[in-house]
Copies of this chain bind each other. A is one copy, B any other.
């Protein structure tokens, strides 16, 4: 499988102010088209931390490293500087990116949102990319996304504003990922089980996973204290959706019957 890591950059996540919904969105979207997310890391708006995580991730050789956050005009938007430092390359004004940023401000002036479109240093910053990087158009905001190829890994830097992150992903990244993942399909299904505790289901899962080597089964205890409600999550990745569905279906039937024999009750969640 094609592997990827997600790197979230932002103090607001480390202080618990912001829930990392960007990472979940990316993980779900990328998993659904057959990629395997190996790791999700959050670091702060700190040059050393950013360059460290990029260096570490590159050593693990994922096919893709997707970063979010830190592309804007303020002092603490340090993602591109961190990537350049990790790769030991320079930052330079990227002409293509500068045109994108310039066009945005001219448009904002035209729409009466601001008076002057002049390229202040804080605006030029958003077009200051690592050498050899390719800017990706931002359909809904100002700072372009950035793509850099490093040997066998593609680093993609996306903004932290969710709408901007998603728009650049859908427009510029998705086609690229789909091509690489060879249209693999991730298929998942859930069962809800009551009347049996997790430690009783554990040996049954062992047996069913042994008989169904391509299906991954994970149990999630739910509800409060002493409510023995468990969600069983089945998943597989295959090149055909019928293969994937059949695999999961077979495992669900086998495990359901074993659970019923032990006195458990099965529900298919809506």
A: which residues have CB within 8 A of B? 11-21, 23-32, 37-45, 49, 56, 72-76, 108, 111, 113-114, 120-123, 126, 140-142, 161, 163, 186, 188, 196-203, 205-206, 209, 216, 218-221, 224-226, 228, 233, 235
Contact = CB atoms under 8 A, between A and B. Distances in A.
A219 B16 contact: no
A122 B28 contact: no
A27 to B, nearest CB: 3
Contacts of A233: 12, 17
Contacts of A43: 38-39
Contacts of A37: 14-16
Nearest to A119: B199
Query: Which residue, of A15, A203, A221, has the highest number of chain B Cβ atoms within 10 A?
Result: A15
Contacts of A27: 13-16
A31 B19 contact: no
A224 B163 contact: yes
A38 B44 contact: yes
Contacts of A24: 13, 16, 18-20
Contacts of A206: 74-75
B19 A218 contact: no
A49 B38 CA distance: 9
Given A38-B49, A233-B12, A226 B122 contact: no
Question: In the complex this chain forms, how many copies of it are found?
Answer: 2
21 contacts: A13-B27, A13-B40, A14-B39, A15-B188, A16-B24, A16-B37, A19-B20, A20-B24, A39-B49, A40-B41, A72-B198, A73-B198, A73-B199, A74-B205, A74-B206, A113-B226, A121-B203, A122-B199, A123-B199, A142-B199, A161-B221
B17 A114 contact: no
Given A39-B42, A75-B202, A75-B206, A17 B11 contact: no
Contacts of A30: 16
Contacts of A18: 24
Contacts of A197: 108, 113-114, 142
Contact of A113 (B21, B161, B201, B228): B228
Given A23-B20, A73-B198, A202-B74, A218 B114 contact: no
A11 B40 CA distance: 11
Contacts of A200: 114
